[in-house]
Copies of this chain bind each other. A is one copy, B any other.
């Protein structure tokens, strides 16, 4: 596997663009990814019972048809809790893209990110759609167009030889760097030119998401607009990827790598964050239990505050492990901050304060919790809780 410079349109047979149409004041706010041929596609959506209009429209399209040829995304307005008018706007956007490309509506996915409860102005959207370019001059503009107040774009591109051909996979994500409210939306799009069936792609997506995107947390608030969408257009002309072959395992590795890189970038750029925190829970009873405990630790406001303050407060870590849900034996637990052990078999350890301080001063902090129960590992990523987080989310008036 090689990591290369590139964009969401680096895999063969894709183009992408992004521009400012007027939903936001100045920044780019509309973008698309188009495959020149129908692509096998799969998506996972927010589990929030309040789902934004574009989520409903995309879900319907993919249920009718596990192929996509285009994704249209706007930032600035989430089109969530916007009732009938909002749903009509999402459908109209989908139809306008289908008409422009001469494809079916259900080959177009729609995504939005931004403020909840405000209506999308179709005047701007329509004008923007007219201007979206069908060549591949500025694909990186798409990476920008999906951001809200993220501090930078988030992308990764990898290649590998699969099924006798060079296969490329690209991913892009937006995370949450809110100055405006209700923008804690996670959107991620992955393109590949690999030949793979939608059913297998969907299965792989679910598995990958459980280990990556679903294991990050910034503030515990699940948005109404989250979506991870993958398209595979087969333009690499590889021999089709079949389950449990060597090609499949390599493709899975690429997929997992792309998703993990993007998930970590989203965690690292969480609202107000100064540090990326990685929690590894080792020797858990089941994968689910280990993941859950890792996620609860990394999501604890007390652990997050301690990491901001660079304080080796392991009591908060074991406390969070204890309330995560799965059974654990406090008397068995070991905790390490970086490579320094602070708890052994549930008993406090004398540790080298200077070495621990070194670990905590880094921009990326590793916390290892060993449960000594079984063979499962769970990893989760998050960020510290800072004054800036409170500022971003309080010093705004709707």
Residues of A in contact with B (beta carbons under 8 Å apart): 46-51, 78, 80-83, 115-118, 181-182, 184, 219-224, 299-302, 305-306, 308-309, 311-316, 318-323, 326-328, 330-331, 343, 345-348, 385-387, 389-398
Contact = CB atoms under 8 A, between A and B. Distances in A.
Interface of A, helix, strand, loop or mixed by DSSP: loop
A302 B184 contact: yes
Contacts of A386: 390, 394
Given A51-B330, A181-B315, A389-B390, 17 more contacts: A49-B327, A49-B330, A81-B318, A81-B348, A116-B315, A117-B343, A117-B348, A181-B306, A182-B313, A182-B319, A222-B322, A301-B389, A305-B390, A311-B396, A385-B393, A387-B390, A387-B391
Contacts of A328: 49-50
Question: How many copies of this chain?
Answer: 2
Contacts of A313: 181-182, 396, 398
A221 B323 CA distance: 8
B316 A83 contact: no
Give the 6 A-B residue pairs with the shortest CB-CB distance, closest first: A116-B315, A50-B322, A309-B394, A305-B393, A222-B323, A48-B322
A51 B347 CA distance: 14
Given A83-B347, A311-B396, A315-B80, A49 B322 contact: yes
Given A182-B302, A323-B48, A385 B396 contact: no
Contact of A301 (B219, B224, B318): B219
18 contacts: A47-B323, A48-B323, A49-B323, A50-B319, A50-B321, A50-B322, A51-B322, A81-B315, A83-B331, A83-B348, A116-B319, A181-B313, A182-B302, A221-B316, A221-B319, A221-B320, A224-B322, A302-B393
A343 to B, nearest CB: 7
B397 A309 contact: yes
A321 B49 CA distance: 8
